Amino acid sequence: MKESILFRRALLGAACAIALSAQVSERARKVHSDAFVFDGHVHVMNRQLHDGSDIGQRLKGGQVDLPRAKDGGVDAMLFSLYIPEEYYPGRFETKHALRLIDLAQKQIAANSDKIAIALTRGDLDRIHKQGKIAAVLDLEGGFDLDGDLGVLRSLHRLGLRSAQLPAHNWANQFADSCCSAQKHAGGLNEHGRAVVREMNRLGMLINISHAADTTVEQVLETSSAPVVATHHGMRALNDIPRNMPDALMKKLAAKGGVIGFHIGNEFHNRKMFDWRTKNAGKPFWDTSAVKKEEPLTIELVDRRVAPTFPMMGTNAPEDLLFTPEEWIGVIERAITVVGEDHVALGSDFDGGPTPPKGMHDIADLPRLTQAMLNRGWPEARIRKFLGGNLLRVYRQVAAGAK
């Protein structure tokens, strides 16, 4: 049954892609092609770990694979490996991170004609010149709930170049999450500051998405390098803890960082958020069903979470969804707060977003470029948003490695 549903979705997606392509002008295609498209948050490998699929193949269902990323004009991505909360009660977070990094390396090697891992400041340019997608290995969720610096250094040696400070929507011991009822660190405690300093020394991107406001503020005070919020939204437009208030956005920009904007309607579109919350009976970040007193084996956790991948958005009524132009309007609002040098794309494809109307997967990114042109954006601003700003910060952070 699931196979047939996925097949029907794939057919629908293909038909919609054909219709969508007619909405993208030749000028938009050229602008998009000429830009360096760097998506700050793309979910990968969790699906592959559980269903055995190959990211190099055009897959049924889901929102991400390499052929569709190529169709979407993607030049680089934060290749986000996700540690779901279910792995924390049994303290499997580090083991799961190792499994995902191992699988990422295997699948990237198997598709070396299409993609390569970026480890240094110059790798993005080198890989781009080869006509391949550059993958910056990124971890969403806790690398270790205690923040062990030896674990962090070991993961860096394995190729990890970006990591989230909080443990997604779960409480760790050194950096509080926006969406956990428990707060252990008072934002960022002294050990959390040591984690930040070590990431600065290693030249790693510090991702503050999912962090509590107090955590964000203290990270910005501690870090010697710009930081990124890879997939976020504006609290001024949708007052939820996963979004950032204007005051913090200004401080992030003053530090030289960027805020990546989530493609999902749930973040920016209050009507859509309310509809999803009502139908689910809880907000999308709620992990209260994961019980700390229920430590399972890692095999049982795998079986429990496997059916959730790939993570897709909801089948919301079309009239609730933003158009791509309305979604771009969110970025324009952010630019009035932080300026055009501090906004970026952080789609979260395959991480559960409900994209703007008419968009379905990563292949549809040129539709955003068309929307920016429709709203009168100059090409220089489009290039900054699609990847130039994130590329600048990545280079600056990597250059600080000691």
* Mean pLDDT value of segment 330-344: 98
* Domain-embedded: residue 174: no
Give the three-class secondary structure for 293: coil
* Domain-embedded: residue 49: yes
* Domain-embedded: residue 110: yes
From CA 284, how far away is CA 303, in angstroms rounded? 21
pLDDT tens digits, residue range 4-31? Answer: 434 444 444 444 444 444 589 999 999 9
pLDDT given at position 22:
57
Asked if residue 258 lies in contact with residue 343, where contact means CB atoms within 8 angstroms, the answer is yes
pLDDT tens digits, residue range 38-56? Answer: 999 999 999 999 999 999 9
Structural domain total, the chain = 1
pLDDT tens digits, residue range 145-187? Answer: 999 999 999 999 999 999 999 999 998 999 999 998 888 889 9
Tokens (6 digits) for 114: 């299409």
Rg (CA), the chain: 19
| Residues 326-365: b if buried by 16+ CB within 10 A, e if exposed | bbbbbbeebbebbebbbbbbbbbbbbbbbbbbbbbbbbbb
User: Which among 108, 100, 62 is positioned nearest to 309, based on CA atoms?
Assistant: 62
* Domain-embedded: residue 151: yes
* Domain-embedded: residue 401: no
Using DSSP, how many helices (H) and how many strands (E) does the chain show? 17, 9
* Domain-embedded: residue 400: no
Asked if residue 199 lies in contact with residue 157, where contact means CB atoms within 8 angstroms, the answer is no
* Domain-embedded: residue 170: no
**Sign of torsion, CA 135 136 141 146?**
positive
What range defines the domain where residue 82 resides?
2-165+228-392
From CA 350, how far away is CA 10, in angstroms rounded? 14
* Domain-embedded: residue 111: yes
Q: What percent of the chain has pLDDT over 70?
A: 95
Q: Could you tell me the CATH number of the domain that includes residue 247?
A: 3.20.20.140
pLDDT given at position 14:
43
**Amino acid letter, residue 251:** K
* Mean pLDDT value of segment 341-367: 98
pLDDT given at position 52:
97
Give the three-class secondary structure for 78: strand
Mean pLDDT, rounded, of the chain: 94
